[in-house]
Amino acid sequence: MRVLITGASRGIGRATALRLAGKHDVAVGYNESPDAAEEVAEAARERGATATAVQGDVRDSGAAAGMVDSAVEGLGGLDAVVNNAGVVAPARTPDLDDERFERVVGTNLTGAFYVTRAAVEHLEPDGDVVFVSSIGGTAGTVDAGYAASKAGLHGLARALAREYGGEGLQVNAVAPGPVETEMNDEILEYLESVGFRGHENVDTHLPQYACEPETVAHTVEYLLENDYVQGEVLNVNGGMQFR
């Protein structure tokens, strides 16, 4: 399987690229961290994968399409896309200015759409798309911009699953709770600063509160390799929220 992972220079994307590299070829998507992306690609090669680093700002439709084209060229085709690129810039709604809101929604939701739209022609008839969402998309945590962007991914995944499922394309999402990443540190700092009773005040039902990026990567791998899961938003949150 040849897989493009966006936002793969660190965190969940990095862990996903390295986990998949044991069995699959990977394109390490990035925007602003070429050295880090190349380090991930090199580590993937050391695990036996064909790997390439591909650049593009997913908020720009042309750049997103260019990233897909580079992945196709570097891997000799494309079988799956993991839309992991994401940012957070939390603020209370009165302080959530246009630029901040548009950057978060543009990266997390619109960018995922742009990448997927460009990739569909390469993925048919039996490829895979996985969106990396968040508990924020169902619980409304973090802030309005982040929660809206992640909730949008759930609708996007299900709409695409209906549109393309009959042709064999599988589309799913994974919705993690707290993950030990730099982004989660930023989220927790913000929530503490505003005294917001978000997911940092809701206990899990397992001994650990947060998981490692590798745990989410394992779930992404499951969705890519299971041939009978469709339109699912799979929670990975330690029981923080039941559905």
Instruction: Give the per-residue pLDDT at 181.
Output: 73
- Per DSSP bridges, beta strands 25-30 and 233-236 are unpaired
Within-domain flag for 64: yes
How many independent structural domains does the chain possess? 1
What is the amino acid identity at position 232?
A: E
Within-domain flag for 45: yes
Within-domain flag for 18: yes
For the question of residue 228 being annotated catalytic, the response is no
* Rounded Cα gap, residues 178 and 230, in angstroms: 24
Within-domain flag for 242: no
* Rounded Cα gap, residues 88 and 109, in angstroms: 12
Instruction: Give the per-residue pLDDT at 122.
Output: 96
Instruction: Give the per-residue pLDDT at 197.
Output: 53
* 221, two tokens: 């791998």
* 38, two tokens: 């190349």
Q: Rounded to whole angstroms, what are the CA distances from 34 to 10, 14, 29, 37, 49?
A: 11, 13, 9, 5, 19
| The one catalytic residue among 30, 114, 146, 190 | 146
Asked if residue 234 lies in contact with residue 219, where contact means CB atoms within 8 angstroms, the answer is yes
* pTM given for the model: 0.92
Instruction: Give the per-residue pLDDT at 191.
Output: 67
Within-domain flag for 200: yes
Instruction: Give the per-residue pLDDT at 229.
Output: 97
Q: Rounded to whole angstroms, what are the CA distances from 11 to 18, 165, 192?
A: 11, 30, 22
* Rounded Cα gap, residues 13 and 86, in angstroms: 10
Instruction: Give the per-residue pLDDT at 202.
Output: 57
* Rounded Cα gap, residues 158 and 160, in angstroms: 5
Q: Rounded to whole angstroms, what are the CA distances from 214 to 103, 173, 223?
A: 27, 16, 14
Instruction: Give the per-residue pLDDT at 90.
Output: 84
Q: Which residues of the chain have pLDDT under 70?
A: 188, 190-191, 193-209
* Long-range Cβ pairs for the range 119-122 (8 Å, 24+): 119/4, 119/68, 119/78, 119/81, 120/164, 120/169, 122/68, 122/72, 122/77, 122/78
CATH classification of the domain holding 203: 3.40.50.720
Within-domain flag for 48: yes
Instruction: Give the per-residue pLDDT at 140.
Output: 85
Within-domain flag for 156: yes
Q: What is the pLDDT of residues 166-195, one digit of tens each?
A: 999 999 999 998 877 777 777 767 667 666
Look up the domain containing 69 and give its range.
Answer: 2-236
Within-domain flag for 243: no
Instruction: Give the per-residue pLDDT at 210.
Output: 74
Instruction: Give the per-residue pLDDT at 200.
Output: 47
